[in-house]
Structure 1
C-alpha cells in the first residue's frame, strides 16, 4: 500500500493518484459545520475519480436519509424522506445517493454501505468517545437520549472489514447498490450495562443538556448542527442488511461486549485489570 497526500478537491492530483485502481473508497467526511459547502463537492469528486479510473466506488452511508420520522426498522428498500420533511444533512445525503444513481446510468458501479453511529478503532470524533465515555475515567457516562430507545451502532473494525469484503465481491455488484451494515441495535440501557460489564463497576449516568444547547444554537454553529440531529436519540431505529448477507459469506460481527472492550482499550479508558 502506498500513501499519497493530495488535495481531495484537486481533480488532477486525485485522478493521477487513482490511476490503475480497481476500487475507490470515498471516506472523506467534513465537519458538521462544513457539510452544506463541502459534502456534495467531495462526493462529486469521488464519483469523478472512480469513473475516470473505471473503478468501483464504495461510499459510507448513514441513516440521515430517512429523516426525523424514520421507521424503527431500516432495510435496504426503506424509502428516503422527502426533502421537505428532512434535515439539511439528510437532504445532502439523499442528494449524494441520487448522484450515485445518476452516475450508474453512465456506467459507474457503486455501493453505499450504510451503518449506524461509529465506535472503536484508532479514530476519534464519534458520539461514543466525545460524549458517552468522555468522563468514564471519572466514573461517569453520558447518554444523549432515553435509555429505552434502540439506537444503531457500528464497530469500526467490523465495518472496515465489511468494506474489504464488498470490495472483494465487486464483480457481483451492479448499478448503485444500497447495502446495510446491521452492527448493533441496542438500547441505551444495554449499551451502558455493556460498558459497566467491561470496566467491572457501576458508573454514574448523566444526560445531554439539550435545553442549554438549544439556547446556544443561534450563536454556536457546531451546537446548532449537533442539535439538528437530536432526533436520532429520540427515535428508535436499527438496520437490517439482507442484501449484505447475500453478498458476503459472513458479515463481520464482533460480540458487543468484546467490541466495547476493544473500543475502550483504544481510548485508553480500560483499567489494567479489565484488559
Structure 2
C-alpha cells in the first residue's frame, strides 16, 4: 500500500477539486493539483500546479510521481456528462494504476435509482434507473477492475465551497436576495445534502486511514438530511444573519415549475437532463454514514446554520451572476 503523504487532485479547479486540495494541504499533505488552465486561488506552498489536459494521462503520471492518492474530481458539464464521464474516469483509473496509487471518487445516489429506500445503507442494492446512474455504476466497476485500491465516497447533493453550479446556488437560493426560495420537490420529504468542505475533510481522513479499508471500498457520507421546509427555514435564518436580506424580511417558498420544464426539455438540453433526474426530489432519502464513523471516528460535520451562512456569504451580489 502506498504510504507517502502526496496526493494528486485531478480537476483541481472544479467545485470539489478546489475544496479537496485545500483540505489535503491544510492536513499537511503535499498536493499536486492538475487542471488545464491556471489554478484558481494559488499561493499555497504545499500545492504544486500541473497544467495539463485530462486527456494526457501519461504526462500527468510523469508529473505526479510519488503520489499515493489520486482524487478524481474531474466533472464534465451536466449536458455533456453522459458523453464524457467514462473517458475522464478512464484517465483517472490509468493515472492511479500507473502511479500505484489509491483512487478516490466522490460518488452520489444515482446508483440506487427510483427504488432507493428512505434510508440508504452499506447494503442497499444498486438498481440504477437512469442513464446517469448506469454510467456511475460502470465508473465504479472500472475503478475496482483497473486499480489496485479504490475508495468511493458516496454523498448527497453538494452545497457550499467556492464557485457555482449546485442546486443550492443555481435554483433553490438563487433569488434569496429578493426573498424567494425555489424548491424542486415536496417540502415534507427528506433529501440528502453534502457540505463540500466537510466532504473534502472526510476524504482526507479516509486517505489517512485507508489501511482499515478493504482494497476496494464504498463509504457512505451522511452529510445533512433536510426536508424542503427545514432547508427553507435554514436559508431564511442564514440570509438574515449574513445580511443577504433584512433581519425582519420574510421569504416566500415557491415550487419549481416542473410542468414548464417538462415542455421546455424538448428544446433545452440542460432542462432535459434535469427532468430525467427529477425523481431525486420526489423520493425521500437519507444516507446512513455509520460505517464511515466506525472507520474515521468523528466525521466532519459543520453545524448546519454555519454551513448555510458560509454558503450564502459568497453568493454573488445582484448583477454579478
TM-score band (shorter)? over 0.9
Per the alignment, residue 88 of structure 1 pairs with 131
Which of 211, 217, 221 is the equivalent residue of 1:181? 221
CA drift at 1:268: 5.0
Q: How far apart, CA to CA, are the structure 1 residues paired with 2:250 and 2:63?
A: 50
Q: Map residues 189-208 of structure 1 onto 2, 5 A cutoff.
A: 189-200=229-240, 201-208=249-256
* Residue aligning to 2:103: 57
Match of 2:272? 224
1:255 Cα offset (Å): 1.3
User: Which residue is equivalent to 1:272?
Assistant: none
Question: Superposed, which structure 2 residues align to 1:147-162 within 5 Å?
Answer: 147-162=187-202
Partner of 1:130: 170
**Residue 144 of structure 2: aligned partner:** 101
User: In 2, Cα distance between the equivalents of 1:88 and 1:247?
Assistant: 32
What is the CA distance between 1:32 and its match in structure 2? 1.6
Say yes or no: does 1:260 pair with 2:260.
Answer: no
Secondary structure, counterpart of 2:122 in structure 1: coil
After TM superposition, the structure 1 stretch with the greater mean CA deviation from structure 2, 143-152 or 255-264, is 255-264
C-alpha displacement at 1:217, in angstroms? 1.3
Of 44, 55, 67, 2:113 maps to 67
CA distance in 2, matches of 1:58, 1:202: 43
CA distance in 1, matches of 2:145, 2:123: 18
Q: Which runs of 5+ in 2 are unaligned?
A: 1-46, 241-248
- Equivalent residues of 1:120, 1:155 under 8 A apart: yes
- Please give the alpha-carbon distance, in whole angstroms, between the structure 1 residues aligned to 2:232 and 2:156: 17
Q: Deviations over 1:61-111 (max 9, x none)?
A: 0000001221111112211005xxx1010000011111122235xxx1110
TM-score, normalised via structure 2 length: 0.79
The 3-state SS of whatever aligns with 2:115 is: coil
Match of 2:81 in 1: 35
Aligned with 1:114 (options 140, 148, 154) = 154
Post-superposition Cα deviations, 1:11-67, rounded to whole Å, max 9, x if no partner, equal 222211221101100011111211221101111111110111011111000000001
Match of 2:181, SS state, is: strand
The answer to whether the 8 Å contact 2:68/2:102 transfers is yes
- The answer to whether structure 1 residue 44 and structure 2 residue 90 are counterparts is yes
Cα root mean square deviation, aligned: 1.3
Using the TM superposition, name which of 180-189 and 240-249 deviates more: 240-249
One of 173, 186, 191 as aligned partner of 1:146: 186
Deviation at 1:171, TM superposition (A): 2.5
- Indicate the residue corresponding to 2:38 in structure 1: none
Deviations along 1:116-155, whole A, 9 cap, x unmatched?
Answer: 0111111210000000111111111100110001000011
Q: Distance in 1 between matches of 2:259 and 2:183?
A: 15
Deviations 1:141-188 (A, max 9, x none): 100110001000011111111111111112223321000110011100
Where has structure 1 moved over 3 Å in runs of 4 or more? none
Kindly indicate whether the alpha-carbon contact (under 8 Å) linking 1:11 and 1:45 is maintained by their aligned counterparts in 2: yes
CA distance in 1, matches of 2:200, 2:299: 11
